[in-house]
Amino acid sequence: MLDFAIFAVTFVIILVGAVLYLYPSSRRASGIPGPNPTDDKDGNLQDIVNKGSLHEFLVDLHQEFGSVASFWFGGRPVVSLGSLKQLQQHINPNHTTDSFETMLKSLLGYQSGLGGGSSEAIMRKKVYDSGINNTLNNNFPLVLKIVDELVGKWKSYPEGQHIPLCAHLIGLSMKTVTQLALGELFTDNSRIIAFRKNHDAIWSEIGKGYLDGSLEKSATRKGHYEKALTEMESVLLSLAKERKSQRKRSVFVDTLLQSSLTERQTMEDCMVFTLAGCVITANLCIWALHFLSTSEEVQDKLCQEIEQVLGSGQISLEQIPKLRYCQQILNETVRTAKLTPVAARLQQVEGKVDQHVIPKETLVIYALGVVLQDSDTWSGPSRFDPARFEEESTRRNFCLLGFSGNQTCPELRFAYTVATVLLSTLARQLKVHRLKGQVLEVKSELVSTPKDETWITVSSRK
């Protein structure tokens, strides 16, 4: 199996290692244009490292070689698609697994979800999706309560006080995800703090330790990472056993326990949801409020919609689809921030894009961050403009990319729900304002994250 410490650059690179291990194929080149490997052993790995992220590498790759391009991991070619037209052409029957889940599990060393066959994958996906839907239905008042507490805190601040968005919204996501996924034990702040400590230790090494193999070179860091992972797994296994003996069935882990999953599989799926759910929820909320702070007009229009749909009452789960402009804001947030800039699929059968043949069992990367900023698809692609999603063609394009509709990853659906509650609660009480002179730089890993703390101020709407 390929050495993760050498070849892994992001989650997608981890996925490459898993795919090539699980699906050996011929090493013949695809004939698709792209750079020659800079190293016989590592392929274009050093080029990716030099760019700082796979996304930045793909931006330059498609600028130079066009919308269908190839590059090399080790001695193996990988194909990348960088325009909506080519993505529409790419037919891949492998819809039984979620690429995000596959990448996380391969990194964490979880094999039960990678090689168990299509029937197991379909079953687990149904259980996973059902768990998130049941959790939101059973615990929506808890989401309201947690959001109300945060907005109330902001409302109590003197006007002009700087609010650290990342710190506060990571806290919000930790509370919602842990309590809705794992139950009432996580109303205890000490448990959330301990969870966050291990979560951050695991996630930070996923983001940086596999970029240059530095995790393998540092016994101290590797020991810290493995300790955090072991502690998190132990907590999840112990909690699953405790909940299994209880009659109450209301949170995510309960749905998993009622299925035919083993204890190990239940722990793995809880790990994936808590790791990914926290990061995606936090960053969707962070970017949404950042972009709102740049436009008073968008905030006012959102407030008008909330008053028309909700009146003076609180939002309910059933009313969320009625907040269409709020949905447009979140869609445009995902697009402008390039929230998840990369996805990947395995070419199960030989395929063709334009005149290019893609051999069977080739890894095909969807350069979503490139496509989301493509001027041929989006007018003024760098401009934050929720009104663009009034057009049916725009919504259809967004759906084709997997950011809405049936193909949306469950963690993103969860994040949309929490973000809608946050925006609907905040917008009719407060206005948010950006800090002048603040420069926001982005870390484009699997989830796009601000490099530094992001600050806003708030003022009363009334």
Element (H, E) at 250: none
Contact 395, 404 (CB under 8 A): yes
Can you give the pLDDT at residue 50? Answer: 86
Quote the CA–CA distance of 297 and 73 in Å, as a whole number. Answer: 47
Going by the DSSP 8-state scheme, the letter that residue 435 receives in this structure is P
Quote the CA–CA distance of 371 and 59 in Å, as a whole number. Answer: 9
Q: Which two tokens stand for residue 133?
A: 């839907």
Going by the DSSP 8-state scheme, the letter that residue 185 receives in this structure is G
Among the listed residues 211, 189, 197, the one whose alpha carbon sits nearest the alpha carbon of residue 278: 197
- pTM as predicted: 0.90
Residue type, 71: F
Can you give the pLDDT at residue 4? Answer: 32
In DSSP notation, 379-428 reads: SSTTS--GGGGGSHHHHHHHHHTTSSGGGS-HHHHHHHHHHHHHHHHHHT
Rg (CA), the chain: 22
The torsion angles phi and psi of 163, rounded to 5 degrees, stand at: -115, 125
Q: Which two tokens stand for residue 15?
A: 């996925």
Per-residue pLDDT for the chain (462 aa), expressed as one digit of tens each?
Answer: 333 333 334 444 445 544 444 444 434 445 899 999 998 887 888 888 888 888 999 999 999 999 999 998 777 789 999 999 888 887 554 454 565 666 667 677 786 544 455 677 778 888 988 999 999 999 999 999 999 999 999 999 998 899 999 999 999 999 999 999 999 999 999 999 999 999 999 988 876 655 455 666 778 888 998 999 999 999 999 999 999 888 677 899 999 999 999 999 999 999 999 999 999 999 999 999 999 999 999 999 999 999 999 998 999 999 999 999 999 999 999 999 999 898 877 777 888 888 888 888 788 889 999 999 999 999 999 999 999 999 999 999 998 888 877 667 889 999 999 999 999 999 999 999 999 888 888 888 778 999 999 999 999 987
Can you give the pLDDT at residue 190? Answer: 93
